[in-house]
Amino acid sequence: MRGIDILGASKSGTGKTAAYVLPLLNKLQKIVKKDEKVIRALILVPTIELADQVSRTIVAFSQYLDIQTMKVQGGSKKSEQLQKLKQGADIVVATPGRLQDFIHHDKINLQYVNTIVLDEADTMLELGFLGEIKAILKSCNHPKQMMCFSATISQNIKKLSKEFLSNPTIIEVSNRRDVVNAIKHRAYKVDKKRKAALTAKLIKDMGVEQVLIFVNKKDVADKLYAYLKTQDIWTSIIHGDIHRGGRAKALSLLKSGKTQVLVATDIAARGIDIKELPLVINFDLPESTDDFTHRVGRTGRANNKGGVVTLLTIHDYNAFSTIEKHLKLNVKREIMEGFEITDKQPRQARPRKKSLSEKKGKIDYDKKRRYTYAAQKKKKQERNKK
């Protein structure tokens, strides 16, 4: 409310959108003019789905205010968006690519923008939007306030805040480890070639009405989608190659209960908000702990209970152990009856037992080893001289 730059972090489903939209509306209602609409606030988001979600939130909160909100995003006709821009808007919610296109062709005026919000900033960096963000910010004449929000504060987010924010207040409501509090985690070891079959069995056995399944690649999503349909499981799919209408339809089918399963890649699923989603399945293990956190954050939202099942092939054991360490998790590895492991198990090095002195910190083993080696080398050199 005081106009200070903000770097904000909180786990998915805790209300980050409301946290910046409500103060923004309160500020704008005092200065907007009914007959002279200019863009005063710009909200940048990484995906079409998140643009839809944020826009709906703003429209709902501002229904009794004379504040106009519009979207500038890919996947929709440019002509329709340009027509709405001509009619005037106070707030623009935009994806970087389409907005930069409008700026390049002088189709949008951002000189009156005094508030900029970067929402899901970490995802925008992952998608390679840094160049677009820099170009967009140059088109804004020194906004009075900038806010950057994310589920986690990574090193990339810290770098972004140093470049664009001015002495920001850092507000971290919860760290990424808190995401596990209301969520039950299970992990199943399985042969790679039987992952799809195990997934189908879990969906049928657990009997949940809504399941969100994460995969790492679009071709894997397509194959899993096709397989689940052969198992008489109502399934929809979203990934980057599916057009906006298809992605929106797939999501609405899951929300309305007309389909049971949604297969998704990470980027396509960012910003998805499904009320009381009971189950997330990690068909593929994500590449990082932050990606795992984002996936898990689709369930257990707003203090509702949720469950996460992670499938592990022999190549995932070490990576999953790293995620457990970061999130302070301890998930039992289970094997489903009928899905016994036949893949050759990786050899795991046995940890060397430390002596009592080492445990007490009196001996630095590596230092001792280096010292011993240096001493032996010196003695050998002396003998050679003799």
Give the whole-angstrom CA distance, residue 346 versus residue 317: 9
Instruction: Enter the tokens of residue 130.
Output: 């840094």
CA distances for 328 relative to 299, 322, 348, 350, angstroms: 19, 10, 21, 22
Q: What is the rounded distance in angstroms from the CA atom of residue 51 to the CA atom of residue 53?
A: 5
Distance between start and end Cα atoms, the chain: 81
State how far the Cα of 50 lies from the Cα of 270, in Å rounded to an integer. 7
pLDDT at 362 over 50: no
In the CATH scheme, what architecture does the domain 6-174 have? 3-Layer(aba) Sandwich (3.40)
Cβ atoms of 45 and 74 closer than 8 Å: no
- What are the backbone angles phi and psi of residue 48, rounded to the nearest 5°? -60, -40
For the chain, give the mean pLDDT: 84
Q: Is the pLDDT of residue 180 over 80?
A: no
- Cβ atoms 259, 236 nearer than 8 A: yes
Instruction: List pLDDT tens digits, range 93-116.
Output: 999 999 999 999 999 999 899 999
Winning range, highest mean pLDDT, from 19-28, 67-76, 319-328, 365-374: 19-28
- Same fold for the domain at 6-174 and the one at 177-334? yes
Q: Write out the H or E segment, with its range, that includes residue 72.
A: strand 69-72
Band of pLDDT at residue 303, cut at 50, 70 and 90: low
- Is pLDDT of 369 > 90? no
Question: 60-84 pLDDT, tens per residue?
Answer: 999 999 999 999 998 788 999 999 9
Q: What digits encode the pLDDT tens for the residues 227-273? A: 999 999 999 998 878 877 788 888 888 888 889 999 998 876 666 66
Yes or no: domain 177-334 corresponds to CATH 3.40.50.2300:
no
Q: Dump pLDDT digits (tens) for 217-229.
A: 999 999 999 999 9
Three-state DSSP state, 6: strand
Domain residue extents for the chain:
6-174, 177-334
Q: What phi, psi does 141 have (nearest 5°)?
A: -80, 80
Output the pTM of the full model.
0.64
Q: What is the pLDDT of residue 175?
A: 54
Strand partners, 265: 215
pLDDT surpasses 90 at 374: no
pLDDT at site 321: 92
pLDDT of residue 357: 53
Higher pLDDT, 177 or 229: 229
Q: Which helix (H) or strand (E) holds 383?
A: helix 365-385
Give the lowest-confidence range in 61-70, 309-318, 361-370.
361-370
Q: Is 126 helix (H, G, I), strand (E, B) or coil?
A: helix
pLDDT of residue 176: 52
Percent of the chain surpassing pLDDT 70: 87
Asked if 269 contacts 298 with a C-beta cutoff of 8 angstroms, the reply is yes
pLDDT at 363: 46
